[in-house]
Amino acid sequence: MKPQEVLALCREKDVKAVDLRFIDFPGLMQHFTIPVNKLTDDVFEEGLGFDGSSIRGWQAINESDMLVVPQPGTAFVDPFCDIPTLAMICNIQDPITREDYSRDPRNVARKATAYLKSTGIADTCYIGPEAEFFIFDDVRYDQNQHEGYFHIDSIEGEWNRGRDEGPNLGYKLRYKEGYFPVPPADQLMNLRNEMMQTMIDCGLDVEAQHHEVGTAGQSEIDLRFNELVKMADSMMLYKYIIKNVAKRHNKTVTFMPKPLFGDNGSGMHTHISLWKNNEPLYAGSGYAGLSDLAMYGIGGLLKHAPAILAFSNPTTNSYKRLVPGYEAPVNLAYSQRNRSASIRIPMYSASPKAKRTEFRCPDPSCNPYLCFSAMLMAVIDGIQNKINPGDPLDKDIYDLPPEELAKVPKTPGSLDEALRALEKDHEFLLRGEVFTKDVIETWISYKLEKEFDAVRLRPHPYEFCLYFDI
């Protein structure tokens, strides 16, 4: 869509307001709104000013002026506003130099795709994420000087089998058995259908929706793969729609990786493939039907996985999901069918166009622009340096003898460990100035100070269970 087409759409839909959106450093969408008559041709070129000093991880107060530049290709009519409102994602620029801002996550993703083209390896990176999330009926939480707790509830939760619900109809999903019972056990089908249809109405290409393994409303809605930047844009709209449809029904959604103890966490298995001149580059005659190029890409992902996890699994809660011995893919290995390996080669189709690799570590708490870009940069490094991924791990990892399992590398065990890995291994991200040093340094310092240390310094409720009577 071009600027003139956006303006025509505003007239056609009798739009009254235009919502300008952008993504902060950790990955939350931000916005402000202008009257539709303030959206002119010039705005698409010149942008509009705002204060960047209050955005997490961005400018200092003495250099706070910034520009949002609307991107017409991202325009859609917002289905949740009371008056007709058109929304667009914006790029961020410096008002003096007019340079794209280094810490704008969308800018990082745009530079990653440009760098891919500059290498001559490929001209397109396709990304296909499978984001999981929980739909809850109630959530309460707090942490202060004298108390710390969370309380969540769901009509589906197994813990509510004995609750007086006037009446309790008994359809509660057992832990780890939410995949795929039909209604009435699946009590959220209609809600997920509404989420799916709203996504379609807003231009997203939805492939499927279903209940996930966890009790208490764990769900998944899958989008068809798309080019890297477009998919990151789509994931931001995806989260926005899911949260607002849930709110419309007095429910709430979280993309936290591990909100429930003792049941499955939420991951975001992410498929990646490279194409050139509309031809797939991952298909070949090697292991699992892969090309040498694809194998080198796997080698790059495995080599840099600990550093990538600083972006793909960027919360302290992420490492409550990535725990050895459970369902999460903590083993840095690859396999054509083994879901306990961190990289899987899906075997659903023999078509060369379907050939891709699936990185199973990421979770939906990530900033998709940074996560997808880090993955692509690792793949490029693997291809450029012909990194051998080693032998596949096609055995059942849980049946391996301890001495053999000990030889399989593991993902970092904490956010701190992942950030330290990024600190040591980030040269591959700096190529083409895709990730700049200020991005790496700010990401590490922000995450350590605002998140890792903030959690580390506070008493945990379970510590009272363990130690209060000492």
CA distance 216 to 1: 40
Per-residue pLDDT tens digits for 85-98: 999 999 999 998 99
CB 435 within 8 A of CB 426: yes
Catalytic residue among 24, 78, 263, 358: 358
CA distance 448 to 160: 37
Catalytic residue among 269, 304, 344, 426: 269
Copy the structure tokens of residue 190.
């209609």
Catalytic residue among 158, 186, 212, 233: 212
Note the helical H segments in 324-436.
Answer: 368-384, 402-405, 415-424, 427-430
CB 70 within 8 A of CB 42: no
Per-residue pLDDT tens digits for 298-319: 999 999 999 999 999 999 999 9
- Give the pLDDT of residue 61: 45
**Is 391 noted as a catalytic residue in this protein?**
no
CA distance 427 to 412: 19
- Give the pLDDT of residue 394: 82
Burial state string for 259-282 with b = 16 or more CB within 10 A and e = fewer than 16: bbeebbbbbbbbbbbbbeeeebbb
Cα Rg, the chain, nearest whole Å = 23
CA distance 235 to 108: 16
Catalytic residue among 24, 78, 104, 130: 130
Comparing CA positions, the residue from 92, 72, 88 lying closest to residue 25 is 92
Q: Compute the C-alpha angle 356/360/363, nearest 5°.
A: 125
CB 266 within 8 A of CB 132: yes
Q: Would you give the distance in Å from CA 385 to the centre of its chain? A: 28
Confidence of residue 64 (pLDDT cuts 50, 70, 90): confident
Confidence of residue 60 (pLDDT cuts 50, 70, 90): low
CA distance 8 to 36: 12
Catalytic residue among 24, 220, 222, 263: 220
Mean predicted confidence (pLDDT) in 184-202: 97
CB 77 within 8 A of CB 104: no
Q: Would you give the distance in Å from CA 50 to the centre of its chain? A: 26
Catalytic residue among 5, 12, 45, 51: 51
Confidence of residue 326 (pLDDT cuts 50, 70, 90): low
Helix (H) or strand (E) segment spanning residue 234: helix 228-248
Mean predicted confidence (pLDDT) in 461-466: 94
- Give the pLDDT of residue 63: 65
Catalytic residue among 360, 381, 426, 451: 360
CB 119 within 8 A of CB 380: yes
**Is 51 noted as a catalytic residue in this protein?**
yes
**Is 441 noted as a catalytic residue in this protein?**
no
**Is 140 noted as a catalytic residue in this protein?**
no
Per-residue pLDDT tens digits for 373-400: 999 999 999 999 999 999 998 877 777 7
- Give the pLDDT of residue 340: 79
Comparing CA positions, the residue from 160, 155, 162, 164 lying closest to residue 184 is 155
CA distance 411 to 312: 12
**Is 63 noted as a catalytic residue in this protein?**
no
Helix (H) or strand (E) segment spanning residue 226: strand 226-227
Q: What is the pTM of this model?
A: 0.96
**Is 381 noted as a catalytic residue in this protein?**
no
Catalytic residue among 98, 224, 339, 456: 339
Q: Is the pLDDT of residue 116 over 90?
A: yes
Length, in residues, of the chain? 470
Instruction: Enumerate residues 6+ apart whose C-beta is below 8 A from 346.
Output: 271, 354, 356, 358
CA distance 314 to 308: 9
61 or 444, higher pLDDT: 444
Phi first, then psi, for residue 18 (nearest 5°) are -125, 125
CA distance 18 to 7: 11
Catalytic residue among 132, 186, 233, 363: 132
**Is 358 noted as a catalytic residue in this protein?**
yes
**Is 344 noted as a catalytic residue in this protein?**
no
Other Cβ atoms less than 10 A from the Cβ of 156: the count is: 23
Per-residue pLDDT tens digits for 329-361: 899 999 987 767 899 998 887 899 999 999 999
